[in-house]
Structure 1
Amino acid sequence: MKHAVSAVIITKNEEHNLGRCLASLGWVDEIVVVDSGSTDATMTIARSYGAKVLETPWLGFGKTKQLAVDSASNDWVLSIDADEEITETLRRGIESKLVNPGKQGYRIARRSYYLDRPIRFSGWRSDAPLRLFNRKHGRFNEKIVHESVEMASKPGLIKVHMLHYTFPSISTHLAKIDSYSALGARQLLEKGKKVNLALACLRGVVKFNKMYFLKLGFLDGKEGFVLAVISSFGVTLKYLRLWELIHKGPHDE
């Protein structure tokens, strides 16, 4: 008999993604959706799939995802984003692990799409976040961005890919960079990081060279080039915003 599993998702205005995600979760024992202020049809869609829906003010990615985990009825949790999808092959792989788990958590390989093209290089090739875990042995850290599950034991790996429809357009990528760079800058400030304008620009150049050349992003075609350019801009913007925060006077807070 396999262990029961709860799928947990955090949302805000995900009506364009959520239906596809939830349709791929018909095999789980429970779906928990924690929403932070959606003004579109997100919650209606969630309830139409029988999800348990909770509303909360935004707490940051780590804390909000942990709230979703804590709200689940089962100890085994599948954390999934609204723009992701579980294939039938991956479903079978997950269920086989849940029959007699040899680990307390599992990373799941992920194939991401950018501008509707699968990205096979650019540093995304080895992407395998920890998404299936026993909440008695793991929990999300409290990072406001780039959160992850932390656990004492080494997780296993499910090699079948989860599908990730990350940025269907340049506009969606830029919108996320605007949000994430602000959060990332605040996080760096709290850690006491320092930066100057030259270093901010240099970090962007390094990011581009790493993604496009070292990680073979040029093999992802035109989309790989666009991905590297915008990603490097995102890094530069994060450090420019850190520079701005450092140089703000008390009257600017």
Structure 2
Amino acid sequence: MPPMSGFVPIHPEGGAPVGGCRLTVVRMTPPSTVSAVVYSRNEADQLRDCLPLLADFDEVVVCDMGSTDDTTAVAAQHGARVVPVPDAPVVEEVRQRGLDAATSDWVLFVDADEHLPAGYRAALQPVLDGPADVAGVRVRYDNVAYGRMLEHSLQGSAKYALLRRGAAHYAEPALAHVPPVLDGRGVDAPASVPAIAHLNFRSVEQTTEKVLRYAANNPGRFTRLDDPVRLIRELLRSTVYSGAWRDGRAGFAVAALHTFGHLYGSLLEAERAGTLTADVPAKDARLLAAAEGGQRTGVSVRDGVRRLLRGRR
């Protein structure tokens, strides 16, 4: 008879087959599973758009950071398991809670304002079933600002959002935008895994609140912007030299608000260090004095030309 599905006929050692063949089970490794873990703090409106895009994951966990809106109800409506976690200024502080709560082989961290493209779960499967020594995968993102996709600024955005359970953890205390500790290799997701749309800049108020919160909770990250020359250089770098202006006013707004957050964090560190009473460095002071004198001269010339033109009329 033909071999049964999932079985292979083999001969016993040292002799003819018994009954024509011997059947033995070939154990097939089941495909790896993945949980989508979403964090929310009063983001029920974002969850309504995010959760339907996660329907084909093996498990969906919503980590509720003390929400007072309909977060838990929206999660339940979409079949997600709700896990209460402490509120925290930056989500990295409670990432480990979600990693511990998941039950699949892998965890994909998804922000409530992230939209996975169609077929994303299927595109992940070859990665999930890949080499066993891979502990984390850097996933790509496309950033959306105020309804406009950023095509020039913030390019190359990626983070370790896909982690193998048991092979990755978050150090304590966790800081904003600090990646997890991997017990194995970290790799970039292949081109076959599409970028996730991140609607992380939804309004000027929301962006400002976020950049100031992260700046206040990430000490030691910022280079000094505690004098006018450093601030002007950083503003030029972030808004002009970076090409952010190519994304129109939306790109400029994102760059300017990030510089604002950078300034805020830098000033907080200067305050903690007790350096806010210090003078501007002599070199910068000379440059600023020259710029101030040039501006005054320019204004005087302009006013003189205007008076001359008015006198001719």
Is TM > 0.5 for Structure 1 vs Structure 2?
Answer: yes
Number of the residue aligned with 1:163: 197
3-state DSSP of counterpart to 2:265: helix
Distance 1:174 1:69, change over 3 A: same
Q: Does 1:82 align with 2:112?
A: yes
2:189 aligned counterpart, secondary structure: strand
What does residue 180 of structure 1 align with?
A: 214
Structure 2 match to 1:29: 58
Aligned to 1:121: 152
Q: Alpha-carbon deviations, 1:198-238, whole Å to 9, x = none?
A: 2xx55544443333333321211121111221111110011
- What is the distance in 2 between the residues matched to 1:149 and 1:19? 28
Please tell me the residue identity of whatever aligns with 2:188: G
Alignment partners' CA distance in 2, 1:226 and 1:211: 11
Cα separation, 1, equivalents of 2:229 and 2:112: 34
Q: Partners in 2 of 1:28 and 1:196 — Cα distance?
A: 44
Gaps of 5+ in 2: 1-29, 276-313
Selected match of 1:57 from 86, 104, 108: 86
CA contact (8 A) 1:8 1:77 kept: yes
**CA–CA separation in structure 2 for the residues paired with 1:203 and 1:40:** 42
Offset from partner CA, 1:62-98 (integer Å, 9 cap, x none): 2301110011112311111111011114333113322
Q: What SS does the corresponding residue of 1:133 show, helix, strand or coil?
A: strand
Name the counterpart of 1:139: 169
Which of 238, 248, 259 is equivalent to 1:221? 248
Aligned to 2:75: 46
Moved more, 71-80 or 238-247: 238-247
Q: Which amino acid aligns with 2:187?
A: P
Q: Which SS does the other structure have where 1:43 is aligned?
A: helix
Larger radius of gyration: 2
SS of the residue aligned with 1:58? coil
Residues 206 and 83 of structure 1, relative CA distance in 2, 3 Å threshold: farther
User: 1:161 offset after TM fit, Å?
Assistant: 0.8
Say yes or no: does 1:2 pair with 2:31.
yes
Amino acid corresponding to residue 38 of structure 1 in structure 2: S
1:149 corresponds to: 180
Alpha-carbon separation, structure 1, partners of 2:107 and 2:74: 21
Q: Matches of 2:67 and 2:152 in 1, distance apart?
A: 34
Greater length-normalized contact order (CA 8 Å, ≥ 6 residues apart): 1
Which has the higher mean CA deviation after the structures are superposed, 139-148 or 213-222? Answer: 139-148
Q: 1:95 to 1:194 in 2, by over 3 A?
A: closer
Letter in 2 for 1:238: G
Instruction: Give the conservation status (yes or no) of the 8 Å contact 1:109–1:127.
Output: yes
Whole-angstrom distance in 2 between the partners of 1:196 and 1:132: 34
Q: 1:71 aligns with which of 91, 101, 106?
A: 101
Extract unaligned runs of 5+ from structure 1.
249-253
CA 1:203–1:176: 2 relative to 1, 3 Å: farther
8 Å CA contact retained: 1:108, 1:132: yes
Alignment coverage as a number of residue pairs: 240
Is contact 1:204–1:233 with CA below 8 Å preserved after alignment?
no
Q: CA deviation at 1:114?
A: 0.4
1:251 equivalent in structure 2: none
User: SS at 2:176's partner residue?
Assistant: coil
Q: Is the CA contact 2:53–2:115 (under 8 Å) kept in the aligned structure 1?
A: yes
Q: Please tell me whether the aligned partners of residues 145 and 183 of structure 1 are also in contact (alpha carbons under 8 angstroms).
A: yes
Would you say 1:96 and 2:130 are equivalent positions? no
Provide the rounded CA distance (Å) in 2 between the counterparts of 1:174 and 1:55.
Answer: 27
In structure 1, C-alpha distance between the alignment counterparts of 2:231 and 2:96, rounded to whole Å: 32
CA positional deviation for 1:196:
7.7
Q: Closer, same or farther in 2 for the Cα pair 1:182/1:106, shift >3 Å?
A: same
TM-score under structure 2 length normalisation: 0.70
- Mark the CA change 1:98 to 1:232 in structure 2 (over 3 Å): closer, same or farther: same
